[in-house]
Amino acid sequence: MLLVLLLGACGGFLPHPQQPYRFTAASADGDPADVVARHLASEGYSPANVDKEVGLVQTQWQDTGLGYGFVQDTPATLVRRFTVTIARTANGNDILLRADLQRCPKGRFTIDSTGVRGPCVAAEEHYEQNQQELDGLGARLRTALNGK
């Protein structure tokens, strides 16, 4: 019983699969990629790649500062960027927001304009607080695109 209570209390610190944030946005005035890029920048996530033809917006990679296991026997940190894909449809735009995640050994990687360099490993899971941040950003992005 004590183990169940302890695991429940630590639930936010147990990795779990990411759930991308999806929604449909009305056709906005102007290009939706521009709206997405401006909104991400206003939230503190500087766009690194905006491809209007493909419907892709990616932010710069950032070290979240959250410990996340080990890589090559070195404590790792979770590094993340957000990717938004925009698919134009007859009813508006289908939007998908996800976090691209890597586990990087502390002190053994760098982030520059082209990406993350070092012995990092892709991560498919993240913490509950990361999911909450993704969901909150998605909700605010939906409001920005729908004007509501």
HEC letters along the chain: CHHHHHHHHCHHHCCEECCCEEEEECCCCCCHHHHHHHHHHHCCCCEEEEECCCCEEEECCEEEEEEEEEECCEEEEEEEEEEEEEEEECCEEEEEEEEEEEEEECCCCEEECCEEECCCEECCEECHHHHHHHHHHHHHHHHHHHCC
Query: The pTM is what?
Result: 0.85
Confidence of residue 37 (pLDDT cuts 50, 70, 90): very high
Question: What pLDDT was estimated at residue 5?
Answer: 30
Residue 27's pLDDT band, with cuts at 50, 70 and 90, is low
pLDDT at residue 16, rounded to an integer: 72
Residue range 43-48: mean pLDDT, rounded = 96
Mean pLDDT of 72-81: 94
Cα–Cα distance for residue pair 146/25, rounded to 1 Å: 6
Burial 45-62 (b: 16+ CB within 10 A, else e): bebeebeeeebebbbbbb
pLDDT at 7 over 80: no
